[in-house]
């Protein structure tokens, strides 16, 4: 029997039967595309920790330094491409239009893969937002001029992401909560399930079957209908290749 064959068959059945599925995705998916994590070993940049740079206070003190760090991150992310997990999620959305994807990642790879029913819980690295007029726009320049200015009002722009100490945008939180509460299948993919508030979302769907795919166990493992110790892209790649989910 091929590795994870039985688990894939169980996953295929659960995904195929769902009519209001939701997926919660974490950094594990991005890591499989080569997007570096800024936590853990090697997470320092010019002797700065991310927690020292990704804050409103750091931006107020030294916007140029913060933008130099984000330009470095943009350069690294620009080299990454969607992996089989991103592509499977986009294909699943085409099969089940009510499917909602909630991602904690800011790299924009889900959009590149074709996902449209998408909540970017922590924002998007490729969006810049004016601190004066509030206008948001996509800017995929690598690097962006440091620091960038708003083309409308000339105000200072910041990255369109949620920083440490900031609240999740109301619309992203409300849409996520409503979808999870109404879901009939919850996929939790490539996340440690410990970072709040997103880690609390599964508690809003106690009756929905929960499927977890992650290399390590998490606090959700004991309650999962199906829990697979695997990289998400590696697990989903055969399902994408055989067309089972995409063709229904």
Q: Which one is catalytic: 48, 86, 122, 196?
A: 122
Q: What is the pLDDT, as a whole number, of residue 3? A: 85
d(CA 132, CA 88): 39
User: Could you tell me the two tokens for 143?
Assistant: 């690097």
Alpha-carbon distances of 64 from 107, 142, 160, 181, 244, rounded to whole Å: 21, 15, 16, 42, 48
Query: How many CB atoms sit inside 10 A of residue 67's CB?
Result: 24
Q: Choose among 49, 44, 30, 57: nearest CA to 158.
A: 57
Q: Place 44 in a pLDDT band, splitting at 50, 70 and 90.
A: low
Average pLDDT of the segment spanning 138-153 = 94
Kindly report which listed range (48-62, 152-166, 216-230, 231-245) carries the lowest average pLDDT score. Answer: 231-245
Q: Note whether 245 and 91 are within 8 A (CB).
A: yes
Verify that 108 and 206 share a domain, yes or no.
yes
Verify that 26 and 141 share a domain, yes or no.
no
Q: What is the pLDDT, as a whole number, of residue 50? A: 78
Task: Find the CATH number of the domain harbouring 214.
Answer: 3.40.50.1220
Verify that 115 and 179 share a domain, yes or no.
yes
**Quick check: 246 pLDDT over 50?**
no
Q: What is the pLDDT of residues 81-93, one digit of tens each?
A: 999 999 999 999 9
Instruction: Estimate the crossing angle of helix 84-95 against helix 232-241, to 10 degrees.
Output: 50
Q: Count Cα neighbours of 55 within 13 Å in the Cβ-side half-sphere.
A: 11
Percent of the chain with pLDDT over 90: 86
Verify that 117 and 22 share a domain, yes or no.
yes
Verify that 132 and 72 share a domain, yes or no.
yes
Residues of the domain holding 50: 36-79+126-161
Task: Find the CATH number of the domain harbouring 75.
Answer: 3.30.1600.10
Percent of the chain with pLDDT over 70: 92
Q: Place 244 in a pLDDT band, splitting at 50, 70 and 90.
A: very low
Verify that 184 and 235 share a domain, yes or no.
yes
Total domains in the chain come to: 2
Verify that 200 and 226 share a domain, yes or no.
yes
Verify that 140 and 113 share a domain, yes or no.
no
Secondary structure letter of residue 156 according to DSSP:
B
Verify that 142 and 55 share a domain, yes or no.
yes
Q: Does 196 qualify as catalytic in the annotation?
A: no
Q: Note whether 130 and 157 are within 8 A (CB).
A: yes
Verify that 117 and 132 share a domain, yes or no.
no
Q: What is the pLDDT of residues 20-43, one digit of tens each?
A: 999 999 999 999 999 976 655 555
Verify that 144 and 25 share a domain, yes or no.
no
**Quick check: 129 pLDDT over 70?**
yes
User: Could you tell me the two tokens for 147?
Assistant: 């620091």
Verify that 92 and 146 share a domain, yes or no.
no
Average pLDDT of the segment spanning 161-190 = 97
């Amino acid at each position: 029997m091929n590795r994870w064959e039985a688990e894939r068959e169980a996953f295929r059945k659960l995904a195929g039967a769902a009519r209001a599925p939701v997926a919660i995705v974490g950094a594990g998916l991005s890591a499989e595309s080569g997007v570096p994590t800024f936590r853990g070993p090697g997470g320092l940049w010019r002797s700065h920790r991310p927690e020292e740079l990704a804050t409103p206070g750091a931006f107020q003190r030294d916007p140029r330094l913060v933008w130099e760090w984000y330009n470095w991150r943009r350069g690294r992310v620009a080299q990454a491409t969607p992996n089989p997990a991103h592509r499977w999620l986009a294909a699943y959305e085409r099969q089940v239009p009510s499917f909602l994807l909630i991602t904690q990642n800011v790299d924009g790879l889900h959009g590149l893969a074709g996902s449209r029913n998408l909540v970017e819980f922590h924002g998007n690295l490729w969006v810049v937002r004016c601190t004066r007029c509030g206008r948001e726009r996509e800017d995929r320049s690598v690097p962006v001029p440091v620091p960038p200015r708003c083309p409308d009002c000339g105000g200072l722009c910041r990255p369109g992401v949620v920083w440490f100490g900031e609240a999740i945008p109301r619309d992203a939180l409300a849409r996520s909560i409503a979808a999870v509460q109404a879901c009939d299948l919850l996929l939790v993919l490539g996340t440690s399930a410990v970072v709040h508030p997103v880690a609390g979302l599964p508690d809003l769907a106690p009756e929905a079957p929960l499927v977890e795919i992650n290399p390590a166990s998490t606090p959700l493992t004991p309650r999962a209908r199906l829990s697979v110790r695997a990289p998400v892209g590696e697990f989903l790649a055969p399902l994408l290749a055989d067309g089972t989910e995409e063709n229904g």
